[in-house]
Amino acid sequence: MKDKTARMRELIEELNKASKAYYVEGREIISNFEYDKLYDELLELEKETGIELAGSPTQEVGYEVLSELPKEVHPTRMLSLNKTKSREELAEWLGNNKGLLSWKLDGLTIVLTYENGELVKAVTRGNGQIGEVVTANAKTFVNLPVKIGYKGAVTLRGEAVISYKDFEEINEKIPEVDAKYKNPRNLCSGSVRQLNSGITKERKVRFYAFSLVSQEGDYPPQVEESREAGLKWLESLGFDIVNYRVVDGSNVIEGVSLFEGEIEDNPIPSDGLVLTLEDLEYSRSLGTTAKFPRDSIAFKWRDQIAETSLRDIQWSASRTGLINPVAIFDPVELEGTTVTRASLHNISIMEDLKLGIGDRIQVYKANMIIPQIAENLTMSGKIDIPSICPVCRKPTEIKNENGVKTLVCNNKECPAKHIKSFSHFVSRDAMDVEGLSEMTVEKLVSQGIIKDFADIFKLENHKDEIVNMEGFGLKSYENLLASCEKAKDTTPDRLLYSLGLPGIGSANAKVIAKACKNNWDRIQGLTESELTEIEGVGDILAKGFREYFDNPENQIKVQELLKVIRLDEEYNVDESSMFMEGKTFVITGSLNHFANRDALVEVLESKGAKVAGSVSSKTSYLINNDLTSNSGKNKKAKELGIPIVDEETVMDWLEKGSVE
C-alpha cells in the first residue's frame, strides 16, 4: 500500500505540474496522450486503494486563477465532466433517454449575464468556484451580441474559442514568441484573460453557447423543459450555438461516428464530444456527485494508434533561436490521412521517449488532428544532438530551464532569426513571389532549405523535402515553383528594394535606378557623393548604401542572386514625358479613376514625380477629391499655402502632358 500511495503522490505532482503549464502558463511539457495515461493510472490506483489524496486532479475541477483580473464567486459550483472513451458506455449511460450530443469545444468556458437586453457580466470558469471577470474583453468577441432583444435577465454558458484559421494567421503575426503558441486553446486563454481588451479584439475570439442557465421574464415555457429548446431560444436571440445532434440509446453510437467524420473539416478546435440529457426536469432530479454532474458525460476519442519505425530526427530552427526535434517515420494511416512526422517539442520529451533511429514506435493523432508519439517500444536512446545549427552551421547550445532541456542557436546572424528580411524580399513591391507567406518562408528556412535569397529560386532541388512538409503536397509545391519562376523576371529597382538596405524604400529605389538608367552595375557601384546628388538621397542613406555593397558577404549574396534571376535592365524612358519631374505629390482620400493609390503613384512616378506620405513645405500639390475636407492633410496644405487639386485636374495634366 505504501508503494501505491507513493506512486499516487508522484502522479499527482506530475499531472498538476503539467496542468499548470498548459492552462496557466501556456506551455506543453507532456503530450495529451501521456497526460491521459497518467491520469487513468491515478484513477485506477484511487479505486484500488480507496485513497484520494489532497490536490489530486481527479478531485479538482479547475486550476488556480493567477491574473490581476477582478475575481467573482460563481453562484453554483461549476463541475467538470466525467468521461469515457467507449461508445458502448456512452449508449449505456444514455439508456432510454433522449440526449444532445455536441462538440466539446477546446477553449475557455465563459458565463454571460444579460439584463435589460445588455451584456452586464462575463466571468470565466476559473477553478470552478471562483472565476475572473472579463466583461470588457467579452464585448470584443467577433460574434457575440452585446445587446439582445429580450429584456429579462438571462444567464448562459458557452465556450470562447479561436478557430484554426485565425490561430494560424494570428500566430504568424506575433513575433518573438517562444516557439509561438502551441495550440488555439492556449492562445484563446491568454486572449480572453488580457488586461487590455484591445488585444483581445485583435485575437478574433468567438463564442458558442452550449447551455441556458437561467432566465427571468416572459420567455417561451418550453425552455424550462427542453435543453434543445433553450439552445434554439438562445440562437433566436442572436447567439451562435454549439453544433449538436439529438440522439437516444439506439443511435448515439451512430451520432458519434457522424461527428468523427466531420473532425477534419471542423474549423473550431475540439477535444471530444459532450452528451447531455435533453429532459431538464429529469436532469435536475439527478443532482451531482462531489466531482461531476449526473446529467452530462464527456466522450474522448479513443486514439487510433499505429506502429511504425523511426527513420530520422530533423532539427527545425526557429526565429527565437530554438531548434526543435521532429520525428520522421515510415508512413502510417491515422484517422484517414497518411502521417510521416511528429513534433517532439524539445530535447526532454525526446529523451524521455528514449528514441533511437530504427526504433519501433507507436504514433497517434492528439484530438484526432495533431500527430504525436505515444510510446517507444524499443527505447534504444541513440540520438545524437547536433552540435551545429542546421541553418547557419554555427555551434549550438543545450539549455536547461525549469527541468526542460532545449537546443538553441546563439548566432545572431542565423537566417532563421531574420525571417522578416526574407518576407520583405518576396513581398509584392519587392520580388513579388506570390503565395510565399511568412509562415511558409519560416518553414523553409527552419528546414535549412532557404539559407539565402538565391535559395528561394532553387526550390526544385528540394522537391521531396517540400512535398513531405506539413501543410504541403505536390500541388502546393508546383504552385510555389511556378510563382518563383515568374518572380525571376524583375527590374533593378525591385531588386534594390528587395535587398532591404536601410532607408531604401520602393520610391527611393526607383529614383536611384532611374538615375543609373537601370544599369545594375552602375547602381551598386555608386559612390556616396554620387548618391547624394540624387534627389531624396541624403548622407545617412548614402553611407548605409555603400556599407551594404562594400560588405564582402553581401557582394557574394547579390552575385549568387544575379545568377538565378532575369534582370530587365532596358531603359526606354522618354525624357520628354517626364513633365512632372521636380514635383512632389501627396495623395489622400478616395479615388475615382484609379483602382487604388498604388496605381496613381505608379503613373505619377512614371512621369518623373515624387510621391510622399505627408504634407510638408516640399510638397508641390495635395491630391484630394474632397477639396473642402477638414482633414489634417488639407489643413496642413492650407497652412503652408500648398495647392489642393482633385483627381480630375491630375487626369487633365496627364492628358495634356504638362502641369497647369
Which residues are known to be catalytic? 104
| DSSP classification of residue 241 | B
* Cα–Cα distance for residue pair 460/382, rounded to 1 Å: 33
| DSSP state string for 90-147 | HHHHHTTSEEEEEEEE-SEEEEEEEETTEEEEEEE-TTSSEEEB-HHHHTT-TT--SB
Residue 338 backbone phi and psi in degrees, to 5: -90, 130
* Cα–Cα distance for residue pair 418/38, rounded to 1 Å: 40
Strand, helix or coil at 89?
helix
The grid coordinates listed for 85 are: 472513451
Is the alpha carbon torsion for 422, 428, 434, 435 positive or negative?
Answer: positive
Q: How many residues does the chain have?
A: 660
Other Cβ atoms less than 10 A from the Cβ of 423: the count is: 18
* Cα–Cα distance for residue pair 306/441, rounded to 1 Å: 32
* Cα–Cα distance for residue pair 574/562, rounded to 1 Å: 27
Residue type, 213: V
Residue 284 CA neighbour count, 13 Å, CB half: 8
Closest CA to 247 of 95, 368, 89: 95
3-state secondary structure 258-301: HHHCCCCCCCCCEEEEEEEECEHHHHHHHCECCCCECCEEEECC
Strand, helix or coil at 605?
helix
Strand, helix or coil at 587?
strand
Strand partners, 566: 489
